[in-house]
Each structure stands twice: as C-alpha cells, then as structure tokens.
C-alpha cells in the first residue's frame, strides 16, 4: 500500500514540478560552478533566481536549457532529462546578444517560426507592436533596449512549458525595463507556462515573482514563496535577500 502511495506521489510530483534538480553538480577544470543542488520548482509560477555575480545563476539556467550538462546528478524538465535538444520544450533568453545581427526582425521571427513548432507568429507580431518594434529593422541597427525587447518577444511567442530568461533587464534603462516587465505580464500564460529568470533588479521584479530561489557560491540556499517572505517573515525581498545571502 505504501509503495503505491509513493508511486502516486512521485507521479503527482512529476506532474506538478516543471523542474527537478537531483544532487546536481557542475564542475569545470579548476572550478565548481554548482554544488549538489537539489530542488524542485512548480508549474505556472514566475520564479526569480537571485544571487551575487558568479554565484551560479546562469549555470543553473543553462543546465535547464540543455546548453550545459551536469557533471553529477540529474536535471529533469517536465519529467524528462535535460538534453541539448530540450530546446523544443524550453525557451531560453540568453544574457548574451545571441541574435543573428544581419537579419531583420521579421527574418528572425520567421527563423523561429520554422524551427519551433510551438512558435506563435500572431502573438509575435502582437508583441512587436506592443514593444513598438519595426519588423523591417535589422538587428545590428537596433539599440540595446530594442534588442532586449526583441529577445523577450522571441521567448514569449513560444508556447513552451518553460521559459528561461537570463538577466533580461540588465543594462537597460528604466523605460525599457518597464516595457519588458509589462510585456512579460501581458503575454505570459501562467496556466500553461512557467517563467524562471535571473536578475539583479530584485526590488523592481519582486511584484512579478511568485517564488524566489537564492543561490550563492554555487549552492542553492533557499527556495521561498514571495508571499511567505512578506506575510510571515515580514520583510521585503531585498531584505530577505540580504539576510539569506549574507
């Protein structure tokens, strides 16, 4: 009887958890980027991954995106192991400018349309209008802010179950950041999607988050609900962050 219950629990967990890290370690020659990380993340939430520079946030995200492979332990996305080809179910917004600069915005959208089955071209054009981007512009001629906006459009035009964003707001001015945040809220579908983002703009992003994961020096310290932080612990996210990451 106990065994059946465990199996059902396991199934339920798989059904509700979009991400599962099981004793994940990531080693590079001469450095350990992530140490024995074990946690699960639920679906349908906006999750913030916060921590100082070099703490391993990008590593965690890239492990989820299949761009890195764990040295030890397993990474499961949607119940499946994260391989390089998990890109069919995971949208990844890189911190780097990983766009093909000679393409126009329209050409970039058509490229994504052709590669991803879950790409919604109408939504993409809707978002372009929202962000006030001109499809005929060439990527290399876009301002930094507009490139940031385009990256969000590409990520959110996909119906992927998991959307990963690595520093989507970094280096952008407040107006652009606001439009990206509003764009995110407008176009995300939390009934079918989960968003995980790393960011330094903790105070700005707090109202948008459901859950926060604190990481420092390659170790995942805590996974906490925003409501608990304010409700029970009575502090803002910034204060909690200072306390947890001290």
Partner 1 sequence: MKAWLTLLKKEFLLTRSSLLWKLLFLVIAGLLGVYFAYRNNDRPGLIVVLAVMVVAFYVFYLAAYMFKSLREEWEHTSHSWLNTPQPGWMLLSAKLAGGFINLLALFGVTCCFTLWITWIELNNFARPGFQNIDLAWATINYYGWYIAVLIVLGSIYTGLWSMMISVGMAASKSILSKGRFFVGLAIFLIPTWGMGFFQGTVVYDRLVRWGAVYLPQTPIVELRNLHFHSLYTGEILFYAIIMAALLFISGWLLDHKVEV
Partner 2 sequence: MGEEFNSTQPIYHQLVQRVCRQIVGGVLRAGEKLPSVRDFAVRNSVNPNTVQRAYAELERLAVVESRRGLGTFVTEDAARLDELREQLKDNQITAFVLDMKEMGFSSEEIMEGVEEHLAEDK
**Contacting positions for partner 1 (CB under 8 A):** 28-30, 62, 65-69, 83-92, 94, 96-103, 107, 110-111, 113-117
Burial of 202 (0-12, 13-18, 19+ CB in 10 A): middle
Distance separating alpha carbons of residues 197 and 133, to the nearest angstrom: 23
Considering only 81, 170, 190, 192, the residue that binds partner 2 (CB under 8 A) is: 190
CB atoms within 10 A of CB 178: 13
Maximum Cα–Cα distance for the chain, whole Å? 64
Measured from the CB atom, the residue of 163 and 215 that comes closer to partner 1 is 163
Measured from the CB atom, the residue of 38 and 100 that comes closer to partner 1 is 100
Piece of the chain touching partner 2 by CB under 8 A; list 103-111, 113-121, 163-171, 185-193: 185-193
Distance separating alpha carbons of residues 90 and 164, to the nearest angstrom: 7
Question: CB of 191: closest distance to partner 2 in angstroms?
Answer: 10
Question: CB of 218: closest distance to partner 1 in angstroms?
Answer: 17
* Binding partner of 210, given partner 2, partner 1, none, CB within 5-8 angstroms per partner class: partner 2
227 binds partner 2 (CB under 8 A): yes
Name, in order, each residue with C-beta under 8 angstroms of 90's C-beta and a sequence gap of 6 or more. 64, 65, 66, 77, 82, 160, 161, 162, 163, 164
Question: CB of 8: closest distance to partner 1 in angstroms?
Answer: 31
Distance separating alpha carbons of residues 61 and 58, to the nearest angstrom: 5
User: By the 8 A CB rule, do 38 and 23 touch?
Assistant: yes
The site for partner 2, by CB under 8 A, has a size of 24
Measured from the CB atom, the residue of 14 and 111 that comes closer to partner 1 is 111
Sheet arrangement for strand 211-216? 90-93, 162-166, 194-198, 46-50, 211-216, 219-225
Question: CB of 194: closest distance to partner 2 in angstroms?
Answer: 11
User: By the 8 A CB rule, do 40 and 224 touch?
Assistant: no
Measured from the CB atom, the residue of 68 and 131 that comes closer to partner 1 is 68
235 binds partner 2 (CB under 8 A): yes
* Binding partner of 73, given partner 1, partner 2, none, CB within 5-8 angstroms per partner class: none
129 binds partner 2 (CB under 8 A): no
Of 39, 37, 35, 34, nearest to 13 (Cα)? 39
Piece of the chain touching partner 2 by CB under 8 A; list 68-76, 110-118, 143-151, 228-236: 228-236
Interface with partner 2 (CB under 8 A): 44-46, 178, 181-182, 185-186, 188, 190, 206-210, 226-227, 230-231, 234-236, 238-239
């Amino acid at each position: 009887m106990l065994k059946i219950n465990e199996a059902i629990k396991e199934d339920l967990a798989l059904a509700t958890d979009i991400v599962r890290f099981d004793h994940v370690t990531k080693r590079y020659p001469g450095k350990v980027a992530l140490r024995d990380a074990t946690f699960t993340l639920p679906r349908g939430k906006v999750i913030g991954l916060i921590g100082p520079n070099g703490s391993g946030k990008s590593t965690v995200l890239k492990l989820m995106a299949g761009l890195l492979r764990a040295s030890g332990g397993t990474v499961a996305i949607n119940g499946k192991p994260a391989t390089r080809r998990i890109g069919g179910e995971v949208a990844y917004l890189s911190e780097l400018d990983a766009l093909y600069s000679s393409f126009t915005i329209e050409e970039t959208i058509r490229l994504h349309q052709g590669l991803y089955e879950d790409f919604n071209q109408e939504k993409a054009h809707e978002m372009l209008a929202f962000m006030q981007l001109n499809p005929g512009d060439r990527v290399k001629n876009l301002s930094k802010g507009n490139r940031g906006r385009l990256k969000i459009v590409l990520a959110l035009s996909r119906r992927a179950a998991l959307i990963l964003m690595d520093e989507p707001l970094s280096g952008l001015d407040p107006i652009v950041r606001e439009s990206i945040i509003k764009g995110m809220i407008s176009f995300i579908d939390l009934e079918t999607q989960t968003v995980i983002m790393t960011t330094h703009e903790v105070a700005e992003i707090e109202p948008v988050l459901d859950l926060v994961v604190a990481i420092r020096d390659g170790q995942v310290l805590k996974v906490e609900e925003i409501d608990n932080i304010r409700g029970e612990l009575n502090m803002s996210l910034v204060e909690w962050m200072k306390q947890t990451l001290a």
